[in-house]
Structure 1
Amino acid sequence: MTEAELIELLTELPDTDVLTADEASGAPEIAWGDTFATYTGAKQPFATIVTKDYGDFDAASKLNRPGVFRLNVAVGRERFTELLGYAPGAVPPGIDYTAFDVVLPHPVYAPQAFVCVLNPGEQARQLIEFAHARAAARG
């Protein structure tokens, strides 16, 4: 799926606020161009689309390559473990965070049960729909 297709999917979900950060949004400049999907009334996004590295803080995916973006999704501890075969706090070393269309632990937010996919295929739809339903259930 393209970045535009993912954003369209997010905007079609009920009770979802989608923001692509820019100067007018008041977001920090480093976030400009990234997209955040939050269940209405929630404080934290259930999905984000990131288009660049965030300095040394979050550079493992090498997003500064042309045409590369990363979908980040909050799936919860149980689903994280089902998808990856280990708990969010037990991420093994040696993961290739630059691999395309593979569900991976988020390089920074895995302990908070976020997974990520670089340039995802159709599996992104299921991840987003699951995270949205989870966010809706949490209110």
Structure 2
Amino acid sequence: MTEDNITQHIIDSLGGGHFEVADDNTFFFQGADNKFPFATIVTKDSESDSASKLNRPGVFRLNLGVGKETFRALFGEQEQASIDFAALDRLMPHPVYAKMYWVSVINPSDKTFETVKPLIAEALSLAAARDKRK
């Protein structure tokens, strides 16, 4: 999967949302609220987020905010210290935002992306529910 393929899939799923590109990173929002994205595609390390080694050529990370139950079903109470956050094509807790139930995958294959699609739908649904509560 490429960044463009993933972006197109999310755009096709948005139904009223939008995305913004800033500093080569893509942020996906539900509705008009630009405060908190439900998904991101990140292409660079930052001071606070470098565990994924995103500065490698051609490397990007898809990040999604899922529900607590989904997160725990995927990862249980796994210790963060045992995770290789630079591994390609592996669904894992987000290296910084796992406590907020964010998941990530670096350069997902087509097969892995198929398992991620329901998580994209869930992240969008949760964002829509938050938007309705406002």
TM-score range, shorter chain: 0.7 to 0.9
RMSD between aligned alpha carbons? Answer: 1.4
1:133 to 2:125 alignment: yes
Deviations 1:78-125 (A, max 9, x none): 111011122xxx643221001112111111111111111001132332
* Aligned 8 A contact 1:36 1:47 in 2: yes
Contact 1:10 1:16 in 2 (8 A): no
Partner of 1:101: 89
Q: TM-score, normalised by structure 1?
A: 0.83
Pairing 1:67-82 to 2, within 5 Å after superposition: 67-82=58-73
In 1, the alpha carbon distance for the partners of 2:7 and 2:82 equals: 31
Residue 91 to residue 44, structure 1, CA distance change in 2 (3 Å)? farther
Amino acid across the alignment from 1:58:
D
- Residue 67 (structure 1) shift: 0.7
Letter in structure 2 aligned against 1:110: A
- Aligned partners of 2:79 and 2:40: how far apart in 1? 21
TM-score of the superposition, structure 2-length normalised? 0.86
Q: How many residues align?
A: 125
User: How far apart in 2 are the matches of 1:46 and 1:93?
Assistant: 25
Residue in 1 aligned with 2:75? 84
Alignment of 1:1-139 (within 5 A): 1-12=1-12, 13-21=14-22, 32-42=23-33, 43-55=35-47, 57-86=48-77, 91-121=79-109, 122=113, 123-139=115-131
Provide the rounded CA distance (Å) in 2 between the counterparts of 1:135 and 1:78.
16
Is there any run of 5+ residues in structure 2 with no aligned partner, and where? none
CA deviation map 1:52-73 (0-9, x unaligned): 1012x10000000011100010
Number of the residue aligned with 1:24: none
